């Protein structure tokens, strides 16, 4: 009996109150909130740097899909490795060094595909199939033959390269121009995902015709 009493005395009382939680120092909660915000912004910045890019449009070669001074969000080439027909991409111009101007063009054909163009009818063929191109401003009439810079068609795109054109077909310097030709995949910076800040309305020559065209904000196809 005496032993049981000793055991009972050794056990802490169930009704014993816990010590009160000390309040945080004044301003400490605000400090933690600020620290969490900075940490979140740092993570977002790192994700954006590695997986996405920002790029502006210069010129009217992608009219009416994109216009001068549009600002774009790209899927970085860190993720974007497999270009597909119809993708809009940003790429370095020949000789593809980082000091060169960037081009924005649409992928018409990839390595192994054959491109042919009927410039009289303005129709583009890939592997013998006429492309349905609702995104172009007008049919493809410009061949660069009048400048002595035309390609010999049909053109089979080498593996690891792309045949690209602007949507403003008769006002675009692209793979039809022999000084450009097919471009290497390594020249591609990324795929255009969306217009994050649209430029002002223009015509096919790039002349401003109206205010900022907010209706084009969002995904690009």
pLDDT at 8: 46
Instruction: Examine residue 161 and state whether it is found in any structural domain, yes or no.
Output: yes
Q: What percent of the chain lies above the pLDDT cut of 90?
A: 55
Catalytic status, residue 61: yes
Q: Which of 105, 172, 175, 191 is catalytic?
A: 105
Written in H, E and C, the secondary structure of the chain is CHHHHHHHHHCCCCCCCCCCCCCCCCCHHHHHHHHHHHHHHHHHHHHHHHHEEEEECCCCCCCCCCCCCCEEEEEECCCCCCCCCCCEEEEECCCCCCCCCEEEEEEEEECCCEEEEECCCCEEEECCEECCCCCCCCCCCCCCHHHCCECCCCEECCCCEEEEECCCHHHCCCCCECCCCCEEHHHEEEEEEEEEECCEEECCCCCEEEEECHHHCEECC
The predicted model scores a pTM of 0.77
Instruction: Examine residue 185 and state whether it is found in any structural domain, yes or no.
Output: yes
Q: In CATH, what number is assigned to the domain containing residue 120? A: 2.10.109.10
CB atoms within 10 A of CB 148: 7
Catalytic status, residue 97: no
> Rounded to whole angstroms, how far apart are CA atoms 144 and 85?
23
Average pLDDT of the chain to the nearest whole number = 84
The band of 32, judged by pLDDT with boundaries at 50, 70 and 90, is low
Instruction: Examine residue 7 and state whether it is found in any structural domain, yes or no.
Output: no
Tell me the average pLDDT across 151-172. Answer: 96
Containing structural domain, residue 105: 55-216
> Rounded to whole angstroms, how far apart are CA atoms 74 and 136?
21
pLDDT at 179: 87
pLDDT at 27: 56
How many structural domains does the chain have? 1
Q: Which of 61, 175, 185, 191 is catalytic?
A: 61
Lowest mean pLDDT among 2-11, 70-79, 114-123, 168-177: 2-11
Instruction: Examine residue 73 and state whether it is found in any structural domain, yes or no.
Output: yes
> Rounded to whole angstroms, how far apart are CA atoms 87 and 67?
17
Instruction: Examine residue 116 and state whether it is found in any structural domain, yes or no.
Output: yes
153 pLDDT more than 80 = yes
Q: What does the pLDDT look like over 57-116, one tens digit per residue?
A: 999 999 999 999 999 999 987 788 789 999 999 998 765 455 567 899 999 999 999 999
The band of 145, judged by pLDDT with boundaries at 50, 70 and 90, is confident
């Amino acid at each position: 009996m005496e032993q049981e009493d000793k055991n009972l005395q050794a056990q802490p009382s169930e009704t014993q109150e816990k010590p009160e939680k000390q309040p945080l120092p004044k301003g400490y909660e605000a400090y933690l909130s600020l620290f969490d915000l900075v940490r979140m912004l740092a993570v977002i910045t790192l994700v954006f740097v590695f997986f996405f890019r920002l790029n502006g449009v210069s010129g009217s070669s992608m009219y009416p899909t994109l216009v001068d001074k549009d600002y774009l969000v790209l899927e970085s080439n860190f993720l974007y490795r497999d270009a597909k027909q119809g993708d809009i991409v940003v790429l370095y111009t020949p000789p593809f060094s980082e000091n060169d101007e960037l081009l924005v063009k649409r992928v018409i054909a990839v390595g192994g595909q054959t491109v042919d163009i009927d410039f009289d009818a303005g129709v583009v063929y890939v592997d013998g199939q006429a492309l349905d191109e609702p995104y172009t401003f007008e049919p493809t009439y410009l061949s660069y033959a009048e400048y002595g810079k035309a390609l010999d068609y049909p053109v089979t795109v080498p593996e690891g390269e792309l045949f690209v054109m602007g949507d403003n077909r008769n006002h675009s310097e692209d793979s039809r121009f022999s000084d450009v030709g097919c471009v290497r995949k390594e020249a591609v910076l990324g795929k255009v995902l969306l217009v994050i800040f649209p430029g002002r309305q223009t015509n096919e020559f790039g002349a401003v015709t109206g205010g900022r065209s907010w209706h084009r904000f969002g995904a690009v196809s």
